[in-house]
Amino acid sequence: MMFEAKVYAERRERLISAMSGGLVLILGNPEAPYNYPANTYHFRQDSSFLYFFGLDQPDLAGVIDLDDHTDWLFGDDVDIDDIIWMGPQPSMSERAALVGVKQTAPLAKLPDILRQAIQKGRRIHYLPPYRGETYMQLENLLGIKVAGIPSNASGELIQAVVGLRSVKDDYEIAEIEKAVDIAYEMHTTAMKMARPGIIEREIAGIIEGISLSRGGPVSFPIILSIHGETLHNHYHGNILQPGRLMVTDAGAETTLHYASDITRTVPVGGKFSDRQRDIYEIVLKANMDTIAATKPGITNLSLHMMAARIIASGLKDVGLMKGDTDEAVAQGAHALFFPHGLGHMLGLDVHDMEGLGENHVGYDNEVTRSKQFGTAFLRLGRKHHPGFIFTIEPGIYFIPALIDKWKGEDKFTDFINYEMVEKYRDFGGIRIEDDILVTQNGHKVLGRPIPKKANEIELLMQEI
Ligand code: GLY
Ligand code: MN
Ligand code: MN
């Protein structure tokens, strides 16, 4: 599955316009062994390769000549042995035509082309790799030692790719909406299954199956736990107990590999206690007010700080925080409860383009990363533009180890009511995450709305 050929041809044209000169080398991914060489993980193509060259098979490489405006696909035609195991396959030239590339050559020719260019003193631009196999491939192709591969990656290419991939076109927006619609099925199913006595993996397995049956694999390993205070909890062995909250952070990939990333938090058994509801409403307000404030020109850092203030002020109303809210947030006291960022870009990667460098994707000359615990973990700080798609995912967590550490250090005793916090040690955590498109004048929450108001969730959980 892929977009029309002209979509990829136009993207390559735009890349050429955005860069000065030389060759761009975009390596597709190879297969990755799981427990022995021929038993591989589910194949996942590199996202930048998908963006510019669309093809979803292993062992391909794309080259764009920035000076004579030509592009090449390198890859091998299958032989009869491959056909016996894999079935008939299109030829390389047929594949290349699907993405508007005219010139193809066997993979064995790639080193020659690159060597010739290097000999002429031409720059080979490549992106930072993230797999061992690709490091070795780049060492062999370019003669750069593995240790030097990241620092020799092209800053100019990174900036150009981030510039293009940050602004989603209509085809991409439609794909991400599909991915959220799959997440709707996953999350409403998880809500209905969240009954006392069931084991987390029974729910996690079913919703992973929904993703597979409707599009592709999940867009990241499912986080589903009654210990939502552990932010990325992949352990699915707990039995659901009455009185606990279940956090489900899960998304799907479409057949074209666009991602969704949604979090919902529900009370086991379907009824929020008063204490749970009070904290839930604070997180929901942080989620909804920051969504409502989203528009071009506003920085994501300011949305993050807005969420932090809503959380601090809500916790003050409950009695868990105290003192001046703005001062508490300025000093970072809220991060005991909200120790992560408000969100990140979303696209072909669930943390879109994170492999190209978080600071290149999320920050610029105007907005630089905070050094303060909590806000420092914000992946996207810069100004929003129409076409950006990103997540809004505030949370409140009671993390016993962090509470003990800060209390032991007498940290922020002017702002944190540790005596009351102690009573919440067994509370768990709450996160509410949606996927947002920045439009010309404002924003759009993507996909079919997934229940998130406390009463909507309770109503849905009654339907079994
Ligand atoms: N799914 C991980 C996150 O929300 O960033
Ligand atoms: Mn998530
Ligand atoms: Mn997320």
- CATH number reported for the structural domain that contains residue 293 in this entry: 3.90.230.10
Q: Are residues 154 and 239 in the same domain?
A: no
Burial of 31 (0-12, 13-18, 19+ CB in 10 A): middle
**Residue showing tokens 């061992």:** 132
Cβ atoms 389, 437 nearer than 8 A:
yes
Q: Indicate the top mutation candidate among 211, 249, 262 to test ligand 1's pocket, ranked by most ligand atoms within 8 A of CB.
A: 249
pLDDT band at residue 86 under the 50/70/90 scheme: confident
- 249 Cα to the center of ligand 1, angstroms: 7
Residue-level pLDDT at 464:
63
Which one has a higher pLDDT value, 89 or 267?
Answer: 267
Q: Are residues 302 and 316 in the same domain?
A: yes
Ligand 1 nearest atom to the CA of residue 249, by list position: 1
* Tens digit of each residue's pLDDT (9 = 90 or more) over 342-351: 999 999 999 9
Ligand 1 nearest atom to the CA of residue 220, by list position: 1
103 SS3 class: strand
What is the model's pTM? Answer: 0.97
Surrounding ion ligand 2 within 5 Å at CB are 249, 261, 433
State the DSSP string of 364-425.
-SSS----STTGGG-S--SB--TT-EEEE--EEE--HHHHHHHHHTTTTTTTB-HHHHHTTT
Q: What is the mean pLDDT of residues 297-312?
A: 98
Q: Indicate the top mutation candidate among 261, 338, 352 to test ligand 1's pocket, ranked by most ligand atoms within 8 A of CB.
A: 261
Residue 53 has pLDDT above 90, yes or no: yes
Q: Are residues 55 and 200 in the same domain?
A: no
Q: Are residues 18 and 140 in the same domain?
A: yes
Q: Taking the mean position of all CA atoms in its chain, how far away is CA 67?
A: 34
With pLDDT > 70 as the criterion, what percentage of the chain qualifies? 100
d(CA 386, CA 343): 17
Boundary residue ending a domain (148, 166, 184) = 166
Q: Are residues 158 and 178 in the same domain?
A: no
> Which of 230-239, 380-389, 411-420 is predicted least confidently?
230-239
- 390 Cα to the center of ligand 3, angstroms: 8
434 SS3 class: strand
> What is the rounded average pLDDT for all residues in the chain?
97
Residue-level pLDDT at 448:
98
Q: What is the mean pLDDT of residues 149-171?
A: 98
Q: CA angle 305-308-313, nearest 5°?
A: 125
What backbone torsions phi and psi does residue 362 show, to the nearest 5 degrees? -105, -10
List the domain range (segments joined by +) for residue 229.
Answer: 170-461
Q: What is the mean pLDDT of residues 137-161?
A: 97
Boundary residue ending a domain (166, 181, 200) = 166
Q: What is the mean pLDDT of residues 281-288?
A: 99
Residue 83 has pLDDT above 90, yes or no: no
With pLDDT > 90 as the criterion, what percentage of the chain qualifies? 96
Q: Indicate the top mutation candidate among 351, 390, 436 to test ligand 1's pocket, ranked by most ligand atoms within 8 A of CB.
A: 351
Buried b (16+ CB within 10 A) or exposed e, 225-264: bbbbbbbebeebebebeeebbbbbbbbbbbebbbbbbbbb
Q: Are residues 158 and 202 in the same domain?
A: no
- 249 Cα to the center of ligand 3, angstroms: 8
Q: Are residues 396 and 439 in the same domain?
A: yes
Boundary residue ending a domain (110, 140, 166) = 166
Q: Are residues 255 and 149 in the same domain?
A: no
Number of domains in the chain: 2
Ligand 1 pocket by Cβ (under 6 Å) = 220, 249, 261, 344, 350, 393, 433
Residue 328 has pLDDT above 80, yes or no: yes
**What is the domain-level CATH number for residue 92?**
3.40.350.10
**Residue showing tokens 């990667």:** 349
Ligand 1 nearest atom to the CA of residue 263, by list position: 4
Q: Are residues 317 and 214 in the same domain?
A: yes
Supply 71's token pair. 């592009």
Beta-strand pair 429-431/395-397: antiparallel
**Could you tell me the CA-to-CA distances from 281 to 106, 277, 344, 424 in Å, in that order?**
58, 6, 23, 16
Cβ atoms 64, 55 nearer than 8 A:
no
Q: What is the mean pLDDT of residues 258-270?
A: 98
- 281 Cα to the center of ligand 1, angstroms: 21
Residue-level pLDDT at 460:
97
* Tens digit of each residue's pLDDT (9 = 90 or more) over 93-107: 999 999 999 999 999
How many Cα atoms within 13 Å fall on the side-chain side of residue 38?
1
How many Cα atoms within 13 Å fall on the side-chain side of residue 400?
6
Ligand 1 nearest atom to the CA of residue 351, by list position: 5
Which numbered ligand comes closest to the C-alpha of 248? 2
Which one has a higher pLDDT value, 82 or 420?
Answer: 420
* Tens digit of each residue's pLDDT (9 = 90 or more) over 203-256: 999 999 999 999 999 999 999 999 999 999 889 999 999 999 999 999 999 999
Q: What is the mean pLDDT of residues 378-401?
A: 98
Residue-level pLDDT at 85:
87
Ligand 1 nearest atom to the CA of residue 223, by list position: 1
Residue-level pLDDT at 233:
86
d(CA 14, CA 12): 5
Residue 178 has pLDDT above 70, yes or no: yes
